[in-house]
Amino acid sequence: MALDPLSDVRAAALASTHAPDLRAPRSLRERAVGALLAGAAAVSVLTTIGIVVVLVREAASFFAEISPARFLLDGEWTPLFADKHFGIWPLVAGTLLTTGIAIAVALPLGLLAAIYLSELASDRVRRWVKPALELLAGVPTVVYGYLALSFITPGLQHVVPGLAGFNALGAGIAMGVMILPLIASLSEDALYAVPAALREGAYALGATKLGAVFRVVVPAAASGIGAAAILGVARAVGETMIVAIAAGQQPRLTLDPRVPVETMTAYIAQVSLGDTPHGTLEYRTIFAVGLALFLLTLALNVLSHRLRRRLKGAAA
């Protein structure tokens, strides 16, 4: 059937001059490389499975000794003392308190920054403000811990009477500065995704710039801003070094920001620093706390993800 007997030869010659190595033997190499790469991708799945298995297994042996009722109903957390109590609420309270302070700092500032960058600022201003804000997220958390302990808390002690050297307030403020860029940049994305037609419509109805921002753009972006805030909460809940350094290590069922508290993460770090032997009940407590931490951050992340997806669906 060959109309041109030379065509195959020519094609081969062409291929060999222009792309000599591209015609190496295919299927085997192709499949091998594909399998190798799929293996690399599978490692990330194995990591997730590994985290869940490790936490669940050790936590299960913890709960075999300490009933979940004692974990959830006791109001004291003293597993390292002679008089042992295993109520997680003091750690949860410490976590919520520092996280609450962080969000109280980061949400208003981050939202104002986002509105400014998305709706009001000129291109030139945005170009240097955005990287400057990103810088805040790049500072290692151990450094924020040091700053909170050595500078923020002593500074606050002039203003807040009765503020202890270790406290939730200083740690919370440092954590707020840390998560501010995250909230600002995700909120800005949400504001920016609001179609220009909505703004134009508002202006056509006689809106001022601020009227359009607050009555139209911000409400339209509400679910995205909510997603940003929740992600900020998740980040603050999981943050370890700032609270381990500056918030103290005293589990305490309180919402007083002036006294030392301990968060779930700080407890895990505290036990890891000591020489708690493997297989003891004390050792297993960190996995029980870790499991609670994992479930809490997972729930927050899923919620945030859902909100963001809804936003995307609405914009499309």
Partner 1 sequence: MTTPHPSVAPPADSAGWLRTGHTRHEAAFRALCKLAIALPLCLLVVLGGSLVVEAWPRLGASFVTSYPSRFAESAGILPALVGTALLMGLTALFAIPLGVGAAVYLEEYAQKTRWSALLELNITTLAGVPSILYGLLGLELFVRVMDLGRSLVAGAATLALLLLPMLITVSREALRTVPRELREACFALGADRAATLRRVVLPMCMPGVLTGIILSLSRAIGETAPLITIGALGYVAFLPTSLGSAFTALPIQIFNWVSRPQAAFRANAAAAIVVLLVLMLLMNGVALWLRKRLQKRITG
Q: Which of residues 219-248 bind partner 1 (CB under 8 A)?
A: 231, 234, 237-241, 244-245
CB of 227 to partner 1, least distance (A): 12
Binding partner 1 by CB under 8 A: which of 3, 5, 6, 21? 21
Q: Binder to partner 1 among 10, 23, 306, 312 (CB under 8 A)? A: 23
Q: Which of 97, 180, 220, 227 binds partner 1 (CB under 8 A)?
A: 180
Binding of partner 1 by 45 (CB under 8 A) = yes
Check residue 2 for interaction with partner 1 (CB under 8 A). Answer: no
Q: Is 312 in the site for partner 1 (CB under 8 A)?
A: no
Torsion angle (degrees, nearest 10) of CA 196, 197, 199, 204: 140
Region 54-113 residues binding partner 1, contact defined as CB under 8 A: 54-55, 58, 108-109, 112-113
- State which of positions 183-222 bind partner 1 (CB under 8 A): 188-189, 192, 196, 199-200, 202-203, 205-212, 214-216
Binding residue for partner 1 (CB under 8 A) from 70, 84, 136, 254? Answer: 136
115 part of the interface to partner 1, by CB under 8 A: yes
Pattern 251-290, binding to partner 1, x per CB under 8 A? Answer: --------------x--xx--xx----x-------xx--x
Nearest distance in Å: CB 119, partner 1: 7
Which of 185, 190, 213 has its CA nearest to residue 110? 185
Q: Does 146 bind partner 1 (CB under 8 A)?
A: yes
Choose between 75 and 211: whose C-beta lies nearer to partner 1.
211
Q: What is the DSSP string of 73-142?
A: H-S-B-TTSSS--B--HHHHHHHHHHHHHHHHHHHHHHHHHHHIIIII--HHHHHHHHHHHHHHHHS-HH
- Pick one of 98, 99, 118, 285: the residue that binds partner 1 (CB under 8 A): 118
34 binds partner 1 (CB under 8 A): yes
Shortest distance (Å) from residue 239 CB to partner 1: 7
Q: Contact 71/288 with Cβ under 8 angstroms?
A: yes
Q: Which is nearer to partner 1, 24 or 69 (CB)?
A: 24
Nearer to partner 1, 66 or 291 (CB): 291
Listed ranges 77-85, 96-104, 145-153, 220-228: which one lies at the site for partner 1 (CB under 8 A): 145-153
| Interactions with partner 1, residue window 156-175 (CB under 8 A) | none
Residues in the chain: 316
Q: Does 131 bind partner 1 (CB under 8 A)?
A: no
